[in-house]
Amino acid sequence: MPDTVGVPDQTSFDAFYRASRQRLFNCLHALTGDPAEAQDAVHEAYARAWQRWSRVGGYGDPEAWVRTVARRIAVSRWRRTRNRLVAHRRLGEPPALPGPGPDTVALVTALRKLPVAQRTAIVLHHLAGLPVAEVAAETGVPEGTVKARLSRGRRALAQQLGVSEDAHV
């Protein structure tokens, strides 16, 4: 018999979802006043319930759990919106960000041609300024592997950009 510990029971979740979705949508729609916002909050709440269904499904009232999560999601969105509005009123329109310069466009184009592992090492080390040890920790590989990826990546970039390998990325 296969091990099903911790695996959500799709049949019971599906039945719960079908039986409760309209009530929860109606509740959140009345609360938010916006059907799209209500649908988003309810959808997110059901997704969280599914992830925890092995526990939530055993609650006396799983619908109350989903309803509470959906309400909290809606309130959180209101707060973020309100905070953005307050910041906008206080600080005004944010300054326009300048577009990337031709050097940046050329670098990003060349980086796209590298294997992902080399690209990641170069971006984290040279653009984000992380030391080799931190790049290794963040990517889950030995420091020697990071050094090899940096070396190969720099060599490939230099060739693509038509610069000396000694030039800094």
Q: Which residue has the higher pLDDT, 90 or 37?
A: 37
Report the Cα–Cα distance between both ends of the chain, in Å, rounded: 56
Q: Do domains 10-91 and 102-161 have the same CATH topology?
A: no
Q: Domain-by-domain residue ranges, the chain? A: 10-91, 102-161
What's the CA gap between 76 and 37, in Å, rounded? 12
Indicate the fold that domain 10-91 takes in CATH.
Rna Polymerase Sigma Factor; Chain: A (1.10.1740)
Residues 6+ apart with CB under 8 A from 135: 121, 124, 125, 146
**pLDDT, tens digit (0-9, with 9 covering 90-100), for 115-145:** 999 999 999 999 899 999 999 999 999 999 9
Angle between helices 62-91 and 35-51 in degrees, nearest 10: 130
pLDDT digits (tens, 9 = 90+) for 63-105: 999 999 999 999 887 777 777 777 777 777 777 888 888 988 8
CATH dotted code for 102-161: 1.10.10.10
Please report how the helices 10-32 and 35-51 are oriented relative to each other, as an axis angle in degrees rounded to 10: 150
Distance, in Å, from the CA atom of 77 to the CA atom of 22, rounded to the nearest integer, reads: 21
Query: Is the predicted pLDDT of residue 47 greater than 80, yes or no?
Result: yes
Q: Quote the CA–CA distance of 144 and 31 in Å, as a whole number.
A: 56
Predicted local confidence at residue 163, as pLDDT: 84
